[in-house]
A and B are shown apart, each in its own frame.
With several copies, the nearest count.
Chain A
Amino acid sequence: MSSVFDFERPPDMAWCPGCGNYDIIKAVRSALDDLNISRDRIVMVSGIGQAAKTPQYVNASFFNGLHGRSLPAATAIKASNPGLTVVVESGDGCTYGEGGNHFLAALRRNPDITNLVHDNMVYGLTKGQASPTSRKGFKTPVQITGVFLEPFNPVAVAVAMNASFVARAFSGDIEKTKEIIKKAITHRGYSLVDILHPCVSFNRVNNFSWYKSNTYYLDDAYDPSNRSEALKKSVEMEKLPLGVIYTNSNNKTFEENLAPYKKNDAPLYLRKLDAGKLMRIIEANLK
């Protein structure tokens, strides 16, 4: 299956053999292909971590910034040029740990971006410390007696904050993950997809079969626009529901609220300073 986002020469991918990231990137590439997104109109944004290397392997523009800071970057990119499709891909540590405050802000701002969180319940790149989503009891070289903190539930927080689009996926099912990603990208507003995936090197507990037996897909009758149902589903922790859990299209996007776009759609780079107007306003206000 070739994609317009493939490279002429395949890059040397820095992931471990068997890592769930490979499946996620497949799902992403084919979602982008399915949606006919043009290579020069998309920007991939990421932080730092193993997941955050994803943009390096998608043949498109990318902004691979600081650990934890993918969301402010993506928000600003979309705001500066709303014509771009902006997809954020980063890890659970990056997004919910270092970047937790920006996650909260993104939920409130509602930029029209898609946030794919590669959630392996561990810090991969730094060699296996607990992440905010690590389950209780998970032992690591830092959490030597096991994690004792309540795991972060991004889906529940997002629904509680009345977010725009909230979904959970599992890398093991590329096809279904792709479909969820497509919905997320086409949804207007901030779309969160928490994508569970195995880290074969540092998470021996939450492995492929663990995910298989601890998740289930929401059935077709499930109505993601029903908030109270979504709240209930979102806090389920025994078995994690997969699929689109909540959607809310009541809010305008961040960009729609910004001064420049109230008059026209032109991205910032096409606008010019009206020097005459500036002169007039200075004379009027400061004389």
Chain B
Amino acid sequence: MKNIKTDLSIVLSGEAGQGIQTLDRLLMKMFKFSGRHVFSFSEFMSRIRGGNNSTEIRVSSKRADSFLDRIDVFVPFGHGAMARFHERITGDTVIIGDPAFIDDRYRGGGYTVVEIPLSEIAKEIGGKTFLNLVVMGLFAGLFGINEEGVQGQIRAQFSRVAADVIEKNIEALRKGIEAGREIARSGNIKNLPEASPDAMKELLINGAETITLGGIAGGCNFVSSYPMSPSTDVLVNFAKYSEDFDIIVEQAEDEISAVNMAIASWYAGGRAMVTTSGGGFALMTEGLSLAGAIESPLVIHVGQRPGPATGMPTRTEQGDLLFAIYAGHGEFPRIIYAPGNYSQGFDLTRKAFHMADKYQVPVILLTDQYFLDSYGTVPGMEIDNSMSENIITETYSGYRRYQVTESGVSPRGIPGYGNGIVCLDSDEHDEGGYITEDFAVRVVQVNKRMRKLQSMGPDSIPPDLYGPDDFLCLIVSWGSTLNGILEAIKASGRSDIALLHYSQVYPLHGDTEKYLKKARFTAIVENNYTSQFGSLIRMHTGFEFDRKILKYNGMPFSVEELAEEFKKFA
């Protein structure tokens, strides 16, 4: 039996449609209220019912916010719930659950099994639906969490449910708590993570919500999208907030419509965004090129999943980076952000609106299923109007939309605001926006557009260096791998390793070479096959990494597999 001091990893596994995600949220909230740091990652199949889904919840006294291989407590929710986890279930794992759901091979010899007739308990109370509450109670009891507090949470959350049902919920909870206390007493699971006061104050959020809220903080008031995993939650969240913040949320007939609507909304004074995944983004690339041609602001969220084509709709990958950078015919500047944690998710989405508006370029937010579907906590968010204001000009007679300027950015007018007219053409155009076939004008307009790459420089986000300034080994990564790498560096016990993490992946920041040259050994970590960011870095610096750590099976890196790799660094 392992002594877990600060950090417990719980895996709940069952079929789609059993409500494991609901239970996940209930537990997360409960643990957070009890003063624990929490993090959970859900992995699920592309189906509505059946199959096998799971969630890993980490409960911890310090921030612990990445995917772990280790399973401390495993709760199966049905037959076949354990099969996919066999390699991760070890002698240190405590298996808690219905006797019927525990595979025979775990019985007798080497495994710690706590059999509790969970389904029966639920059935006695009134049916399967109460199973979740029993399990919630079980963990409340195990952790010795204040019973009234948990009851309060349930009463608040189910406030719209009939009174007798609530009471049954409470009963289920109580039964669970008893069972949990029993386990605690048994001493099978020792040294549970203790409460830490700062956790309680944090906000509980998932990646998708950081994008939505960041968007709202950036003044987003127009969202046109077509549902596509794993980005749909962002669309759903915007719909949820649409009435509160006067946001037009429109489900488009297809992604092509979505992106053209978003661009045209900016033209007419909206602050628009689309959310999609790789396949939908592919359909938007002509629109992206349109934004480039007419110098329209545009924010595109791309939640990556494994490709090509439909690929693995509910899994994770970082396989669309170079596509995002070069998507769209012709040449034009763009910005690509890839948040590494929830704060960045919020801040960068907010900033995306501002940068799109300031430089009149498309900004792409590149996330992935791992980022979007994992829950965790964040201390707070910066909210003011600095990124949500329209950067527009009142037009006047003679106003020219594409007036040539030193920065390449022309004052942006919108129709209906001022006496001028605002003319946009996807053909090459003159300063007034009218079609031109003049070669000299073409060159002037290309130069003007491309000049923004320079103008944007000061607003470029440098990579973040985590770890010792005098590192010997340097890991480079981008996007959602941030937390896992940081935890793995700690776990590796190596104090000579630093991480250089990019949340702005394009344009590549100028400091890159400086950092890389300093290192004795360099490695890149990417959730893809070809090391796309590594290729980008080579394209811009000539630099090649000593080691490429790549994963492309559809799952995020685990802390353990990374730590294993880091230990081997020369």
Contacts and interface: CB of A to CB of B under 8 A. Distances in A.
**Do A and B contact each other directly (Cβ–Cβ < 8 Å)?**
yes
Interface of A: 11-12, 14-17, 39-43, 45, 48, 50, 53, 55-56, 59-69, 71-81, 83-84, 97-98, 100-102, 104-105, 123-127, 129-130, 132, 141-145, 201-202, 258-260, 262-263, 267-275, 277-279, 281-283, 286-287
B299 interface: no
A81 B414 CA distance: 10
A125 B240 CA distance: 20
A40 B251 contact: no
A50 B263 CA distance: 23
B439 to A, nearest CB: 17
A72 B256 contact: yes
A201 B17 CA distance: 9
Contacts of A260: 221, 246-248
Given A14-B51, A259-B249, A272-B388, A67 B279 contact: yes
A81 B416 CA distance: 8
Given A66-B290, A144-B242, A259-B248, A267 B388 contact: no
Contacts of B87: none
Given A14-B47, A142-B235, 20 more contacts: A14-B51, A64-B435, A65-B424, A66-B309, A68-B254, A72-B261, A77-B268, A79-B270, A80-B267, A81-B414, A84-B415, A98-B226, A101-B253, A129-B227, A143-B251, A269-B390, A275-B384, A275-B385, A286-B205, A286-B209
B371 interface: no
Interface in B28-49: 45-49
**Among B216, B224, B286, residue most surrounded by chain A Cβ atoms (within 10 Å):** B216
Interface size class of B (residues with CB under 8 A): 35 or more
A3 to B, nearest CB: 14
Top-10 shortest CB links A-B? A269-B269, A73-B264, A80-B268, A76-B261, A260-B246, A80-B270, A61-B415, A16-B49, A105-B253, A286-B203
A97 B280 CA distance: 13
Given A101-B254, A274-B245, A278-B245, A65 B265 contact: no
Contacts of B495: none
- Report which residue of A84, A98, A142 has the largest number of chain B beta carbons within 10 angstroms of its beta carbon: A142
B206 to A, nearest CB: 10
Contacts of A273: 216-217, 219, 245, 385, 388
Contacts of B23: none
B134 interface: no
Nearest to B224: A76
B216 A278 contact: yes
B241 interface: yes
A5 to B, nearest CB: 10
Given A66-B426, A142-B235, A269-B414, A84 B47 contact: no
Given A127-B48, A130-B251, A275-B384, A63 B427 contact: no
A12 B434 CA distance: 11
B279 A66 contact: yes
Contact of B261 (A73, A132, A141, A202): A73
B239 A83 contact: no
A126 B228 CA distance: 7
Interface of B: 17, 45-51, 203-205, 209, 213, 216-217, 219, 221-222, 224, 226-229, 232, 235-236, 239-254, 256-258, 260-265, 267-272, 279, 286-287, 290, 294, 309-310, 313, 381, 383-385, 388-390, 392, 395, 414-427, 433-435
B251 A142 contact: yes
Nearest to B226: A98
Give the residue among B247, B265, B433 with the most A Cβ atoms within 10 A. Answer: B265
A281 B205 CA distance: 13
Given A79-B222, A102-B257, A260-B248, A65 B426 contact: yes
A125 B421 contact: no
Given A48-B310, A63-B264, A66-B426, A40 B415 contact: yes
B128 to A, nearest CB: 13
B221 A105 contact: no
B421 A39 contact: yes
21 contacts: A14-B47, A40-B415, A40-B418, A63-B267, A63-B424, A64-B424, A66-B290, A71-B257, A73-B261, A73-B267, A76-B262, A77-B268, A79-B265, A80-B269, A81-B414, A102-B256, A104-B253, A129-B227, A268-B271, A272-B389, A273-B216
A114 B442 CA distance: 33
Of A41, A100, A130, A282, most buried by chain B (CB within 10 Å of CB) is A282
A45 B424 CA distance: 10
A84 B416 contact: yes
Contact of A76 (B216, B236, B247, B260): B260
B267 A125 contact: no
B256 to A, nearest CB: 7
Contact of A53 (B257, B418, B435): B435
Given A81-B269, A273-B388, A64 B249 contact: no
B178 to A, nearest CB: 29
B319 to A, nearest CB: 17
B410 to A, nearest CB: 15
Given A64-B427, A72-B260, A77-B267, A287 B203 contact: yes
A100 B253 contact: yes
Nearest to A260: B246
Given A80-B222, A269-B270, A278-B213, A14 B50 contact: yes
Contacts of B434: 11, 56
